[in-house]
Amino acid sequence: MDLFGKSKYIKVTVSKKKDIPGGLWTKCEDCGEIIYNKKLEENLYICPKCNFHFTLSIKQRIESLVDPDTFREYYDDLRSVDPIEFKGPKSYVEKLKSDQKATGLSEAAIVGTGLIKKTKAAFAFTDSRFIMGSMGSVVGEKITRIVEFATEKELPVIIVSGSGGGARMYEGMLSLMQMAKTSAALARHSEKGGLYISVLTNPTMAGVLASFSSLGDVIVAEPRALIGFTGPRVIEQTIRQKLPEGFQRSEFLLEHGLIDMIIDRKDMRDRLHTLMEYMS
């Protein structure tokens, strides 16, 4: 017999938490903020909390800078070969195929012409997702050709560098030659009175910085981009000293006169157009 009368039982149903589909959120690499991907895309891949600029693919970079439906790609038939038959854990041929599949690119650079606010320019873009944006023979050849085309057609040149790698070791000395080749083309462009604006993004390092990226008539950078020849950790280990806060970031380089200005990605199209109009 129940001491307190008839027992009453209440059935409690615990509903399972609905699974959140993957790929909807991104964690900011700088402040840790969790950002809804749609909001991040609408904000040009800039963290709304700390203004951290995420790395863009070449396609995203073109969409953010060039007027819609005006970009025309040049020299897209060039392909890398394996000149020194590189051997390692993965061969050069295998590495090329792997990155081509992962990125949808044939190489680490795309070049062409397009309009910024109806002003025509020649463009080159590098992508750090493809063998760290390193400069092999095809990358150097593409950049050289588009600069020579711009010189002939009297167009300003804008190169947007996003390369964490320098000369491509898989090609040996042939990759190092691209530093001189691209620099010589830009020197001829300058001699003819041509304008060259260099845009540095995160990261721009090594042989890319030591050649065409540092030769602009105007050198601009996105906020907090890592820019240098060798990474800070390697430098600290070599000189056995602690580097200053923010070393090799855009703000540090601006303070020390190594770049001309820092431009937020949202303002980049307008500011580049202003520079072209003013300096032409």
- For residue 267, the SS3 value is helix
Decide if pLDDT at 21 tops 80.
no
CB–CB of 139/170 below 8 Å?
no
Decide if pLDDT at 126 tops 50.
yes
Give the model confidence (pLDDT) of 138-161 as tens digits.
999 999 999 999 999 999 999 999
Residue 57's pLDDT is: 84
> Residue 222 gets which letter from DSSP?
-
Residue 167's pLDDT is: 83
Single out the residue of 127, 130, 121 nearest to residue 74, CA to CA: 121
Helix ranges (DSSP H) in the chain: 37-42, 58-65, 92-103, 137-153, 173-191, 206-209, 232-239, 250-255, 268-279
CATH architecture classification, 56-279: Alpha-Beta Complex (3.90)
For residue 120, name the pLDDT band (cuts at 50, 70, 90).
very high
Return the minimum-mean-pLDDT range out of 36-45, 114-123, 181-190: 36-45
CA atoms of 127 and 115, how far apart (whole Å): 21
How many percent of the chain have pLDDT more than 90?
A: 42
Decide if pLDDT at 135 tops 90.
no
Give the model confidence (pLDDT) of 69-96 as tens digits.
999 999 999 998 888 888 888 898 998 9
CA atoms of 163 and 269, how far apart (whole Å): 21
* All residues at 6 or more sequence positions from 64 whose CB lies less than 8 Å from its CB, including other chains: 44, 56, 265, 268, 269
More confident call, 212 vs 230: 212
Q: 34-36 and 25-27: which strand pairing?
A: antiparallel
CB count, 10 Å around CB of 124? 25
Q: Taking the domains of the chain in order of start, what are their residue ranges?
A: 22-54, 56-279
Query: pTM of this prediction?
Result: 0.83
Average pLDDT along the chain: 86
Question: For residue 219, what are the β-bridge partners?
Answer: 198
Cα distances from 276 to residues 74, 102, 150, 194, in angstroms, run: 22, 35, 14, 11
How many percent of the chain have pLDDT more than 70?
A: 92
Q: Which amino acid is at 278?
A: Y
Q: What is the CA radius of gyration of the chain?
A: 24
